[in-house]
């Protein structure tokens, strides 16, 4: 499956009130492997960034003056995203801005160009209800190194999001070995599906069983005897 992790930086918070996209970063995964086939654009928004936005991304108005307009890169971006699952943190924000940019050049809504849009913020809220689920918070919780993120940057944030997503969904992918290199990964990559093989079952030895039972006993004690995997004393043989 081809997945694109996408992030944007903008001049402010409201596309409906005239704020525009100034940076787009995209990172590609194929079968949960980084391919290196990424996209990155800086864009001239035709207006200045709000002061608060500048504090977030640090991209000066002067730097963007000679960058292309969105309409110049739109075809390249849409061709790259065509048919992929696009994964975004707080997708409503980025998709709202992309929809507005597309509307301004007379193009259909963003979702008409991609297979689907997945919001990792919604996914994280399901997995970690009641906790902070910003990208930084998830990096800390899931052990993703975000030490280089002093300011927001679309490509860096897309790369971090890819790592966060892999950790959030670990264990949900099929047991596949990709024999193609990361540089050549794509629809033609050779795969071996191990689900058709009979794998040898290695049983635990007595020492391992005893060690496992000891761990369960300690957890049982720590929970005040509230664990559910052991029968109540009156039901034990």
Catalytic positions: 152
CA distance 57 to 230: 53
Range list of β-strands (E), the chain:
2-10, 21-30, 33-34, 39-42, 85-88, 116-119, 176-178, 191-193
How far is the C-alpha of 33 from the C-alpha of 142, rounded, in Å? Answer: 18
At 188, list the tokens. Answer: 């033609």
The owner of tokens 């559910």 is: 228
Q: 191 with 31: CB under 8 angstroms? A: yes
Calpha distance 168→81 (Å, rounded)? 23
User: What tokens does 164 get?
Assistant: 């966060």
Query: Do strands 2-10 and 191-193 pair parallel, antiparallel, or not at all (unpaired)?
Result: unpaired
Torsion of CA 107, 113, 118, 121, to 10 degrees: -20
With residue 52 as reference, give the H or E element that holds it.
helix 51-57
Q: Are 208 and 217 in contact (CB under 8 A)?
A: no
């Amino acid at each position: 499956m081809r997945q694109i992790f996408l992030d944007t930086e903008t001049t402010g918070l409201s596309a409906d009130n005239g704020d525009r996209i100034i940076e787009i970063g995209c990172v590609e995964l194929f079968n949960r492997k980084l391919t290196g086939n990424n996209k990155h654009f800086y864009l001239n928004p035709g207006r200045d960034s709000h002061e608060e936005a500048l504090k977030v991304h640090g991209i000066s108005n002067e730097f963007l003056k000679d960058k292309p307009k969105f309409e110049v890169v739109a075809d390249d971006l849409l061709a790259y995203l065509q048919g992929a699952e696009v994964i975004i943190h707080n997708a409503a924000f980025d998709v709202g801005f992309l929809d507005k940019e597309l509307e301004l050049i007379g193009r259909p809504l963003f979702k008409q160009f991609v297979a689907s849009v997945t919001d990792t913020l919604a996914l994280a809220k399901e997995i970690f209800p009641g906790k902070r689920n910003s990208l930084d918070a998830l990096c800390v919780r899931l052990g993703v190194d975000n030490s280089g993120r002093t300011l927001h940057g679309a490509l860096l944030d897309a790369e971090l999001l890819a790592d966060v997503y892999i950790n959030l969904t670990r264990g949900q992918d099929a047991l596949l070995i990709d024999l193609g290199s990361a540089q050549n990964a794509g629809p033609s990559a050779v795969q071996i599906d191990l689900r058709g093989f009979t794998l040898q079952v290695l049983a635990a030895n007595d020492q391992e069983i005893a060690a496992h039972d000891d761990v369960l006993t300690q957890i049982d004690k720590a929970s005040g005897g509230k664990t559910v995997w052991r029968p109540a004393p009156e039901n034990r043989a």
